[in-house]
Structure 1
Amino acid sequence: MTVEKITDVRSLDHATAFDQLLIPVDLSGSKGENRATETCRIDADNDLAAIKSWLSVKGDNPKTYQAYQKELERFLLWAVIERGKAFSSLNTDDCQAYISFIKQLQPDNSRWVSSTPTNKAHGRWKPFQYRASKKSKDTTSVLSVRSVNYANTVISSCMDWLVNQNYLKYNSFSGIAASKSASSGMQVNQRLFTRQHIQLMLDYADSLIDSTAPDYYAQLRVLFILKFAFNTGLRLHELVAATYGDIEALDDTEGDQYFLRVVGKNSKLRKTSLPTAFIADIRSYRIALGLSPAIEQVFDDTPLINSLRKKAEPKLSPAALHKILSDFFKRWHVYLMAAEQPDNRLINKVKQASAHWLRHSYGSFLANDCQIPLAYIRDELGHASISTTSIYLNADDKKRQQAVSAAFVMSTLVQDS
């Protein structure tokens, strides 16, 4: 490995990618103070190689790989530049100091923070980028509490794995508590639309469809995407990856039952249900496009969400789908604002909505409106734990509110008598 003395982030302009990162020999971790004495189970004689080994077992999803690499890259650079230590020499105090560092990192810290997107290959790159959020009133910190906790989780997970591989003796992040925040943002069970809101959304999307308009097929697709997302609860990348070949039909005495094979997080395969009504929507959508409704005759690699550009890839990218839905929510927001009797609660929701809200709406609809068992919903959504799924269940909150309200009604009756 090529080595070079690192004294400043600026010296890393052309050597910041993990494949090119230059670490001084004395800080490479080959003789780290936290190196395990047992035989190492991975082929790594320095910290950079060890981190790459961990990334390699987490790299099935390119987006996840990139996010993990960014966190480890930041931490490794901080250890070398700010602490003057190898990754494998850091103790708990060092790791706590890193968490404090990223919590307090200010936008004007030109040594570590860039206010504009920069390309690593072109110089002037910084490990952190500050982008002011229109939704947040906090303009003093670079990272949100959620981002700080994410960094804590990722680095700790890496260290845990390296301990298990006999590369490290102990996880220096073990015991460092997650940061707390009195956030005024919406909770997960608020970042969703009710069944009534979903119907209003679909009605509006349907009203935009005009067979004589240039964007006729685009608006047809928007309505189909909204139905697809709400009827399955798929994540953004799962929606764009879905093909007709992933549809599976099971025959029984009650007729066909349809499922969709989905590769979710950590390359985990699951089968999510396709409601009979949505199968009818697929057929109707194909007819509107001038195609045969016989979905069993469609080529297996044909994406369910089609591209409208002949020269483009047949599948949309997650970013393209995100933009389609974001543009729709913006348009719906303008429409709601112009209503004679605006629904301010719905307007506020639509203003903040994203594609993931449709997934939350699906989970809430099944849990609260349909009383579907949480274990079923967990499997449909591809959650690893039922505790994750339980965030959609607000039945206990409703019962609590009803009980309190009833208590005040009874109190009023006693006073009146």
Structure 2
Amino acid sequence: MTAEKDILLALFEAALAAALPDGKFAGRLPPPPKGRTLVLGAGKAAARMARAFEEAWAGPCAGLVITRYGHACPTRFVEVVEAAHPVPDAAGRDATRRILELAREAGPDDLVVCLISGGASALLTAPAQGLDLADKQALNAALLTSGAPISIMNKVRKAVSAVKGGRLAAAIHPARVVTYLISDVPGDDPAVIGSGPTVADATDPDSVLAELARYFIPVSPALAAAIRANRMPQALPRSEVHVIATPLMALETAATRARAMGLTPLILGDAIEGEARDVGIAFAGIARAAATHGMPARPPCVLLSGGETTVTVKGGEQGGGRGGRNTEFLLALTAALGGAPGICALACDTDGIDGTEDNAGAWSDSRTLERARAAGQDVAAALARHDAHGVFAALGQLVTTGPTLTNVNDFRAILVQERNRGFRP
């Protein structure tokens, strides 16, 4: 293990710690209700959020949250159900039905606490009238390979859901609703996080259909009719929202850790979007400028960024690869750097899962291309078929954390050392 890799992993670990819900309910709790306290929620962080809420809440509570398979943790009062992500399954559908039943049972003296984090859009699944689970599965699969940004994906998901876009809060009425969010979306918009199940959204159905056409996603007459008929609820009373963890919080904590290590941190942004390989190439140029000209930061420095890039699998491409967006970003960056000395990088998803594999992401340094050639790995061909995972797996450069029980989306760190000498903390 190199010192450079140690530095990058330490920054990633600092970011993950800042993204956990532990201790973040203090000062944000509502007064106890006259009636019951019911906890409902979904997302990759939902189980950890439920446990943290239980620890902070003085009175009794009960409820149900849905998380991704493998992302559960022990809770005392709130039931945790695991389901599929990113394409929903029957377990998520059935658990969502139970959540809606609990929501409709809440009375005016009850308090309903909703815990929502990234992943809720797939996990909290209740098809709109006229659609079934197979329709939603097909639509989700098409969205995931379309290249559409997360904001557009969630816009579409709300339009075909009986629970998203404020519909969960409508089911809870007249009980009081307090929502706690961990953001995984650029801009931290509560209406976009988890597709906003407790945040009213009056998106026009025609604009949703236009987005589907823009990304060449087929729309059947039944799907179009369901979208047009599935009107959003009006403004929701007795509802408040708190965002308790964001990508920027994670990046700022990593920056603080970097300063303590003698590095100059520069946060390039917490809402970076675009094709993963294109962003990788652009960031390679920024890293080269820092190494050569001391701009936009003077070495030793670390360039930090977050957000959510996309990987578009086009019909003319070979496809079939296993790489997620973070490994694709990193392989494109590594190729563009061409083995430039003194630059190493890490790109990981903060939920611990990049794409569909079991790694969070990967790391690279100035010797990665040389190692790849020696191992018989064709980097250009791997990028063409979206198989960055295969390259980094062959080199032993994957980063594997297991489920982190949080999710503030992508974390990228590019370490630029002083020229002609390595940096040691």
TM-score, length of structure 2 as denominator length: 0.28
Q: Over alpha carbons, which structure has the higher Rg? A: 1
Greater relative CO, 1 or 2 (CA 8 Å, sep 6+):
2
| Larger helix fraction of residues | 1
| Larger strand fraction of residues | 2
